[in-house]
Amino acid sequence: MIRVNSMRLQNIVNNYMEILSDLDEDSKLYSSMAETDKYFKQVSNSFRNNMKELYTVFEDYIAFSLSAVGVAVTDNRLREYILNAYKLKIIPEDFYEFYNKTLNIRNTFAHQYKKPTTKELVKLYKDNRDILKNFESFINDRLKIHIKNNRKDLLSLYDE
């Protein structure tokens, strides 16, 4: 089970890093294109899909992290999960504020709405990119600690 949990967290971190990279690329392309460009709509859709995936990874990370400390995620609403994750230091304060403030965007994706516009999403991404990059470092550090602690746990089995 320890190995599976480390692999799951590693997948979450890897997905997050890949999505951030894709968002960087898409936001640059989107900003450099005119609406009349042949591939503008595809770039716009790609950016929107990546933003949707970003919020999915946020939820995956929080659900994984809370369950790892014994908090049943089925008992709470998402805003409560986020608050619990912040109180337990599973997410940093700047990310907590960003995620809590933008949770309504996640809801628009969940219900297939076309708002906010891609232009607004690109602005949101660019304005909060530092927070998202810091969160990448934060979860990477948590992964390293998780793996290190799990290796200690595995090694202690052989010491007995």
Checking if the pLDDT of 158 tops 50, the result is no
In the structure encoding, which two tokens stand for residue 55, read together?
């919020």
Checking if the pLDDT of 36 tops 50, the result is yes
For residue 116, cis peptide bond before it (omega within 30 degrees of 0): yes
Measured distance CA(121)–CA(65) in Å, rounded: 27
* 38-51: average pLDDT: 95
**Domain count for the chain:** 1
Task: Give residues with Cβ within 8 angstroms of 128, minimum separation 6.
Answer: 98, 102
pLDDT at residue number 116: 87
Range of the domain at 149: 2-159
Measured distance CA(159)–CA(117) in Å, rounded: 58
Measured distance CA(71)–CA(66) in Å, rounded: 5
Residue 20 belongs to domain with CATH number:
1.20.120
The alpha carbon dihedral of 21, 29, 56, 102 has a sign of positive
- Residue, of 43 and 145, whose pLDDT is higher: 43
In the structure encoding, which two tokens stand for residue 151, read together?
């290796």
pTM attached to this predicted model: 0.84
The chain-wide mean pLDDT, for the chain, equals 86
pLDDT digits (tens, 9 = 90+) for 74-127: 656 888 899 999 999 999 999 999 999 998 887 787 676 677 889 999 999 999
